């Protein structure tokens, strides 16, 4: 009989002789490749030389991975430090645990430093505007790694697109439920929608240079708030609300305020 629910993959890796390829890592890699291709087109349209993008990527991509992992480790220290933690697990990025906030923060900082030290065909603000939708598409692809890792799903649901989770992966207190909100899918679709808005909405062209990147943050955070609120995986709470919800609210409101202020020429 046809199963209307989304199945959970039976494996999160594939073996090729002595090599084990983890689907989570492959999703991140594919996302990076697509982001570079989309970014190259927009980079050239902004007047830039595309070879400069690949030169920048040598520094920014590792920074993004390191920043994303650092954010995860620092916000869930109990997994890696103390009597219950294992510090060696901090290096196992294929097992999941990449915070987008840290990835964007460190990646942007490294890009800013790169442009400060080298004269390029386009400015730093033009560059981050050009890369914004590609980053969103990369995030959309990367979220499928959570599907392969059977992680970061939401509350129980009986909706037709519910995600079937084997009993072994269900959190404590949810053992009797079989299907959950596929938050990885929600975020993936939201990121694609945000990327389409940035690429195709005519009003975006009226934003000041650098504000398209800020719009990316605003749009992504507005969706992340409700998606994050659906999740039931372990998380630190502040006043009963998940830490990442607070981060999304803070980053989203701040970036929106800066966009408005820049359009009114209150700030640069």
On whether residue 80 sits in a domain, the answer given is: yes
Token digits of residue 8: 């959970």
Note whether residue 237 is domain-resident: yes
Q: Give the Cα separation of 133 and 92 in Å (integer).
A: 28
Question: Domain residues for 106?
Answer: 22-263
Q: Is residue 238 part of a domain?
A: yes
- Total structural domains in the chain? 1
Can you tell me the distance from the alpha carbon of 132 to that of 39, in angstroms, rounded to the nearest whole number?
8
In a domain, 13, yes or no: no
Q: Establish if 9 belongs to a structural domain.
A: no
Q: Which two tokens stand for residue 145?
A: 């790694």
In a domain, residue 236? The reply is yes
Residue 5 lies in a domain: no
Tokens linked to 31: 């996302």
Contacts of residue 26, defined as CB under 8 A and 6 or more positions apart, other chains included, come to: 145
pLDDT at 267: 66
226 is a domain residue: yes
What is the chain's length?
Answer: 268
Per-residue pLDDT of the chain (268 residues; tens, 9 = 90+): 446 789 999 888 888 888 888 999 999 999 999 999 999 999 999 999 999 999 999 999 999 999 999 998 888 888 788 777 777 777 777 777 788 999 999 999 999 999 998 888 999 999 999 999 999 999 999 999 999 999 999 999 999 999 999 999 999 999 999 999 999 999 999 999 999 999 999 888 899 999 999 999 999 999 999 999 999 998 889 999 999 999 999 999 999 999 999 988 876 6
């Amino acid at each position: 009989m046809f199963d209307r629910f989304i199945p959970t993959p039976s494996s999160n890796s594939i073996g090729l002789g002595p090599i084990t390829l983890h689907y989570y890592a492959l999703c991140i890699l594919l996302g990076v490749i697509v982001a570079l291709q989309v970014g190259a087109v927009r980079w050239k349209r902004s007047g830039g030389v595309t070879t400069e993008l690949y030169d920048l990527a040598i520094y920014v991509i590792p920074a993004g991975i390191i920043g994303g992992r650092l954010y995860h480790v620092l916000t869930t220290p109990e997994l890696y430090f103390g009597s219950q933690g294992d510090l060696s697990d901090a290096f196992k990025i294929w097992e999941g645990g990449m915070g987008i906030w840290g990835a964007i923060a460190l990646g942007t900082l490294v890009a800013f430093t790169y442009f400060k030290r080298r004269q390029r065909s386009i400015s730093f603000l033009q560059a981050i505007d050009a890369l914004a939708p590609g980053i969103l598409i990369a995030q959309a692809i990367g979220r499928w790694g959570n599907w392969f890792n059977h992680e970061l799903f939401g509350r129980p649901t009986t909706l037709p697109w519910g995600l079937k989770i084997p009993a072994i992966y269900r959190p404590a207190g949810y053992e009797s439920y079989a299907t959950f909100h596929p938050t990885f899918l929600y975020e993936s679709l939201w990121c694609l929608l945000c990327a389409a808005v940035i690429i195709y909405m005519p009003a975006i062209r009226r934003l000041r240079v650098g504000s398209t990147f800020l719009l990316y943050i605003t749009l992504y955070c507005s969706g992340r708030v409700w998606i994050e609120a659906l999740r039931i995986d372990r998380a630190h709470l502040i006043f009963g609300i998940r830490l990442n919800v607070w981060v999304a609210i803070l980053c989203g409101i701040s970036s929106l305020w800066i966009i408005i202020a820049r359009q009114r020429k209150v700030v640069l």
